[in-house]
Structure 1
Amino acid sequence: MFFLVFAAIGAAAAQMSVTLLTLSLKANQIDASDATSILALVSGAAGIVSLVGLPIIGRLSDQTRSRAGRRRPFLLAAAAAFSVGAVTMIVANDAWSLMLANLAFTLGSVCAGVSTTALIADQLPSNRRGLPSALISLSTPVGALVGIGLSQPFGTSIVALVLIPTLMAVAGLVSLTVFLHDPQVTQERRPFSFLEVIGVFWVNPLRYPGFALAFASRMLVFSGVAALNTFQAIYLIDNFGFAPKDLGQAILLTVLINTVVSLLVAPLMGSLSDRLGRRKPFVVIAATILAVGLLMAASAETFAFYLVALVVIAVGQGVYFSVELALATQVLPDPENPAKDLALINVANNLPVSIVATVSPAILAIGATANDAKNFSALFIAGAISALIGSLAIAFIRRVR
């Protein structure tokens, strides 16, 4: 469990440092006047790669029959992709090279996420997945905090911002590869035909309604989170007047709030959910709290009030992270081969990035004026509505209490 969490945190440190800070700084360096468009392009492409890559890599992992096991090869692939992404990110000097760098980081995150999430279902019974699921889910805010925090002494140095989290990711993934008990699967491998490739993107919602509802809920809730995370750096610059040189400390403070609150809430809620044998009420309450926080962020006129909104959002995320993944493992169509279906669930983490990137220009333009060219309040309100709808979807799942 230690090395599993270490690997998940390291991968999140590499990915989230890029998402929350490095991409915005690089986009601002490339073209400050058009940074949001560059971010939308780069983030949208990454979302598409996640959408395509997660189920395919999950299926390939389930069907791997190597002597090293079925998860180890993809842990090493993640480490390699992060390394390539780091080098490309450092030398990127236009939107297209920045996109390629981010795609490599995205591929690394996909391979790491598929492997670490599948190991929960591989090695733990359903009634003991609450706490481990909370710890793995918390790897995102914890990784963001550690990755950005370790880089702060180096200011806005892109080299440090990229290399430090990437080295942590590689160390965590390689360590898990060494210490993991991942026995070779001897069951006969099914052919991986063209139709099978198409099939990895589909789970019949009529046959598996619980899985479909869990997917829809996560996609809607994470759309609310993506509305904030994708544009937070630009929002702080435009609305609160942060200079690029001060942006790292501001982002670190927001990540610190998110991580500390989530760490206080998620393990307790995960253990309580295991003890009570209930998942649905926790998820519904969490998504509702998150929506309230987004509405507060939409009305923030000062950075201090924005931080209060982030506390509320972090409470919602902490409760959501603690239970929702455990709920998803209980509605899998094929529990013996969990990686592909859990990867589809993780698509719901990444698809919102593409959705937000696609619709955000239109939403940001609502009511825009010469003095206020981007309506971030409208974007955050849309995110809150999405999270509320996501909370309602969970209520209709029948197989889980």
Structure 2
Amino acid sequence: MTLGMWVGLLAAAQVLLPSQIEAIDPSDKVWLMGAVTTSGAIAAVLAAPVMGALSDRTRWGFGKRRCWVLGGIACCAAALLAMSRQSSVVVVGICWTVVHGGVGGIHAVLCAIIPDKVPVHRRGTVFAILGFAQPLGLVLGTLLVSGLSVRVGYPVVAALVVVLALPYALIGRDVPASAEPTPVGRWLPDPSALGRDFGWAWAGRFAAQFATSLATIYLLYFLRDEIKVGDPANGVAVLSLLYTAGIVTVSLVVGRISDRAEKRKVFVILAAVLMAGALTGMALVPTWPMAVAAATALGAGYGAYLAVDQALATQLLRSKGDRGKDLGTMNMSTSAAVAIAPVVAAESVAYGGYPMLFLLAAGMAVLGGFLVQPIKSVR
């Protein structure tokens, strides 16, 4: 289920969408790519807490979480199909807004399932396993579409999104919703009710995701324009595979160690520092061998960060009845970072080239790690 969601978003974002925009307007591809991805990310920011809150309150027999997840999948698949025939940046942007907004809402609902069913001492491990879906989706998606045209690639991705959702649709089970009536005000995010520790975690995740978004949004253009790779789409697929290898190798190990040690913050900080080191290497030595090494190290750091940080976030939740909404609020940090990053990335490339872009990403990664240090309620 999660794999299908990431296939739909990342295969399009890394290969199909930049190729489509470049074909429509090659001279303004950087700015147009930034505008389209920003619109999608804004939709994800809004969709995450809304769909999370709706899943908290839904009492349908089909499942309080499942119905919203499958509805989001259907919207994403339909929008991906529509994108395959578009030659207008405006229409592409509208379709991408639906895709990314759907993924933002789906992710919030899926994250709420973990604290519904998994005890605290196992969440690092479970989130590590769940985290495999994102890089695997990136690799699977890019490998599938790297040799395909836009008209063929989008339908292939849409079909895969639907197929991978079928097991969850057929056998997924949810924890029943509370029968208590919900005040209207509790449907909206309330930062004051979530506490200061939640705010530090939100800011830390925003910074770390901002770093990752800066580093990856123009990867295809970086390989083509800076490193001069002969086949940049294939290069993205190779780096995605190495990135995935780093995540898979490290995240499960770190998640288990974090569970057993009953500590989260130190692992988040170490993971962020590793990410920063990889990004600094990309900035200072823009060569294919460095890109290969940096992709592996960045994957290892990001995988460890995701596994532990998501487990940390679930330990900061105050209300069982608001898990979907509150984790949706936490996921707003990711979507907000993705929304802002394209604009900042475009400015960075315009004024300082790709070295400035990767150095800025490295600084944000470090900041993302150390912002969790003030958290008091989790070790």
- TM-score when scaled to structure 2? 0.95
- Supply the distance in 2 between the matched residues of 1:204 and 1:125 (Cα, whole angstroms): 26
Q: Cα deviation per residue 1:142-193 (whole Å; 9 max; x = unaligned)?
A: 11111222334xx13223422233222212223212211224425133143x
Aligned residues of 1:214 and 1:393 also touching (Cα < 8 A)? yes
**Alpha-carbon distance change, 336 to 167 in structure 1, aligned in 2, over 3 angstroms:** same
Task: Tell me which moved more, 354-363 or 337-346.
Answer: 354-363
For residue 297 of structure 1, what is the aligned residue in structure 2? 282
Amino acid at match of 1:157: S
Counterpart in 1 of 2:191?
203
Residues 169-222 of structure 1, C-alpha deviation per residue, up to 9 Å, x if partnerless? 212223212211224425133143xx556x32x3128x6111111110000011
Looking at structure 1, the residues matched to 294 and 176 of structure 2 have their Cα atoms a distance apart, in angstroms, of 47
Flag structure 1 segments of 5+ consecutive residues without an equivalent.
1-6, 368-374
| Residue-by-residue CA offset, 1:218-266 (whole Å, 9 max, x unaligned) | 00011110001111111111112245xx232111101100101110111
Deviations 1:92-143 (A, max 9, x none): 1121111012112113212321222111011111111111111222211111
Classify the secondary structure of the residue corresponding to 2:321. Answer: coil
Cα pair distance change 1:204/1:308, threshold 3 Å: same
Q: Is the 8 A contact 1:68 1:184 kept in 2?
A: no
The one of 155, 160, 164 aligned to 1:163:
155
Identity of aligned residues (%): 24
Question: Which of 181, 187, 204 is 2:179 aligned to?
Answer: 187
One-letter code aligned to 1:316: G
Two-structure CA RMSD over aligned residues (Å): 1.7
Listed one character per residue, the Cα deviations across residues 282-340 of structure 1 (whole Å, up to 9, x for unaligned) are 10000111011111111123212122122221121121122111111001132332111
Match of 1:371 in 2: none
Q: Secondary structure of the equivalent of 1:366?
A: helix
**In structure 1, the residue corresponding to 2:257 is in which secondary structure?**
helix
Pick from 227, 244, 255: which aligns with 2:214? 227
Within the candidate set 324, 338, 345, 1:360 is matched to: 345
**More divergent stretch after superposition (385-394 vs 329-338):** 329-338
**Aligned residue number for residue 81 of structure 2:** 87
Contact 1:53/1:110 (<8 A) preserved: yes
Aligned to 1:398: 376
Q: In structure 2, how many angstroms separate the alpha carbons of the residues matched to 1:261 and 1:83?
A: 29
Q: Which moved more, 1:17-26 or 1:342-351?
A: 342-351
Is contact 2:73-2:162 (8 Å) kept?
yes
Could you state the TM-score of these two structures normalised by the residue count of structure 1? 0.90
Matched, 1:265 2:250: yes
Whether the 8 Å CA contact 1:58–1:340 is kept in 2: the answer is yes
Match of 1:379 in 2: 357
Q: How many angstroms apart in 1 are the aligned matches of 2:183 and 2:162?
A: 32
Between 1:170-179 and 1:210-219, the stretch displaced more is 170-179
Q: Which runs of structure 2 are paired with 1:302-381 in the superposition (5 Å)?
A: 302-367=287-352, 375-381=353-359
Give the match for residue 372 of structure 1.
none
